[in-house]
Chains A and B, each alone.
Chain A
Amino acid sequence: MTGRAPERCAGAARLPWFALLLGLMLGITGCSSTPKSYVVLLPSPDGSVGKVIVSGAQGEQVLDQAGQTAALDGRAARTPPSQAQIDSDFASTIAARPRLPVHYLVYFSTGTTLTAESMALIPEILAEARSRASVDISVIGHTDTVQTADYNEQLALGRASAVVELLKVRGLTADSVAIESHGEHNLLIATPDNVYEPRNRRVEISIR
């Protein structure tokens, strides 16, 4: 009766028939009724579908298909909640979903000077930030592998700081700004040491 037999209607087999009948009439046997506490798996915003594992006193369910549901106690629901039920249970929850974070990459010609193309992207980044009621920004600087790791740690920090300065001068306001340096340790394009690679000379800006 415990755990790993979610397909069975746990407990029901032991009950006398009249109790089952009464239960069915009242809709309280649990097994046959639609679960009130449940999970629904949805696709991620990028369209991919991950997995959730629900484990409770009645067993374990693995959900890996979009739209699949499971009761929170881990039993397999014979009558899963209808789409109409899901829509009504979660309408306000879904409506409260914050805007998804967005990401930008800007590149550098020399030192902490942005390329012309990246400079042209700045107004779009500012517009995105302005369109949000509350803005948190994370800015991470990177370099290629020319020069030493220590030098690049500082250069990447300089790049991230220069981008933040530029955004602030152009009127950015944010609840929080986090500046980080990954130096030459987080290459976009894998290269050996001491390789000039413009695509690695970059700053990642995340607005959430």
Chain B
Amino acid sequence: MRRALLLVVLSCMCCMGWSVAARAEGTPIGTVKTVTGEASVTTAGVRVAAAVGTPVFQGSVLQTGRQSSMGVTFKDETVMSFGADTSFTVDEYLYAPAQGKLRLSSKLTRGSLNYISGVIARLKPDAVTVTTPSGAIGVRGTQFLVKVEE
């Protein structure tokens, strides 16, 4: 009896933990707005073909194939687009201006990016970073292009 109760309690806790994790991941931080050719969004190991309207989450890996491209607009109105053969990861995305929680840290492993600042960069100038295999880019509210060639 006691063991059964323990099992119920444990499974409840497990469920709660699961749903919390699912919710944290379940809030999109951006949306795919343009796609040409082959592009994908991989979140928590699950890869989906990118189409207009595909949601992007914290931790998502955005990839494009040969002669392909993709554009994404984030909740804070940061606008990004990617050229061919690109791999880009949104490592951390925090957008809660009322609590002062602002962060956009990302990784461009290969390919190209066109970045246009949104509210995060405007409210907190040192909150946006793009790291690449050879160096890191700190962003102070602007637009830039970056290309990583291995």
Cβ of B79 and Cβ of A97 under 8 Å apart? yes
B147 engages A52 (CB within 8 Å): no
Residues of B within 8 A of A8 (CB): none
Per-position contact with A for B119-140: 1 when CB-CB < 8 Å, else 0? 0010000000000111111111
- Whether, in the assembled complex, A175 has its beta carbon less than 8 Å from a beta carbon of chain B, the answer is yes
* Inter-subunit contact A101/B141 (CB<8 Å): no
Does B84 count as interface, using CB distance less than 8 angstroms?
Answer: yes
Inter-subunit contact A44/B142 (CB<8 Å) = yes
B82 CB contact (under 8 Å) in A40, A54, A96 = A96
Q: Which of B11-19, B40-48, B99-107, B110-118 contacts A (4 or more CB under 8 A)?
A: B110-118
Distance of A2 from chain B, by nearest CB (Å): 14
Q: A54, B31: Cβ atoms under 8 Å?
A: no
**Do residues B146 and A51 form an inter-chain contact, with CB atoms below 8 A?**
no
A51-B140, A72-B135 are known contacts. Are A134 and B145 too (CB-CB below 8 A)? no
Q: Output the least CB separation between B51 and chain A (Å).
A: 9
A128 within 8 A of B: no
In the complex formed, the residue of A with least CB distance to B64 is A96
Q: Size range of the interface on A?
A: 35 or more
Q: Give chain B residues whose Cβ lies under 8 Å from the Cβ of A48.
A: 141-142
CA distance A57 to B70 in the complex (A): 30
- The CA of A50 and the CA of B121, in the complex, are separated in Å by 10
CB proximity of B90 to chain A, nearest CB, Å: 16
* In-complex Cβ contact of B137 among A53, A90, A96 (8 A): A53
- Chain A residues contacting B140 (CB-CB under 8 Å) are 50-53
Q: How far is the CA of A86 from the CA of B32 in the complex (A)?
A: 25
How many residues on the B side are at the interface (Cβ–Cβ under 8 A)? 46
Contact B139 A50 (CB under 8 A): yes
In the bound complex, how far is the Cα of B36 from the Cα of A75, in angstroms? Answer: 34
Q: Which residue of B lies closest to A97 (CB)?
A: B81
Known A38-B147, A93-B82, A93-B83; contact A52-B71, beta-carbon cutoff 8 A? no
Docked Cα-Cα span, A49 to B81, in Å, equals 19
A175, B149: Cβ atoms under 8 Å? no
Contact of A4 with B by CB under 8 A: no
In the complex, residue of chain B having the shortest beta-carbon distance to the beta carbon of A51: B140
A95 at the interface (CB under 8 A from B): yes
Name which residue of chain A comes closest to B111, CB basis: A93
Give min CB distance, B64 to chain A, whole Å.
9
Instruction: Check if A41 is an interface residue, CB within 8 A of chain B.
Output: yes
For chain A, residues 151 to 191, give those with C-beta under 8 angstroms from any C-beta of chain B.
Answer: 175-176, 178
Q: How far is the CB of B125 from chain A (nearest CB, A)?
A: 9
Which residue on chain A has the smallest CB distance to residue B54? Answer: A134
Q: Which residues on B sit within 8 Å (CB–CB) of A130?
A: none
A44 touches B143 (CB 8 A): yes
How far is A5 from B82 in the complex, measured between Cα atoms in Å?
32
Q: Name the 3 nearest CB pairs between A and B, nearest first.
A: A50-B142, A56-B135, A98-B33
Residues of A participating in the B interface, judged by any CB pair closer than 8 Å: 36-45, 48-57, 63, 71-74, 86, 89-90, 92-101, 132-134, 136, 138, 175-176, 178, 206, 208
Q: List 26 A-B contacts (CB under 8 A).
A: A36-B149, A38-B147, A39-B137, A42-B145, A44-B117, A44-B142, A50-B121, A50-B143, A52-B142, A52-B144, A53-B137, A55-B136, A56-B134, A86-B145, A89-B145, A92-B69, A93-B113, A95-B69, A97-B79, A98-B33, A98-B79, A134-B31, A134-B32, A136-B73, A175-B31, A175-B55
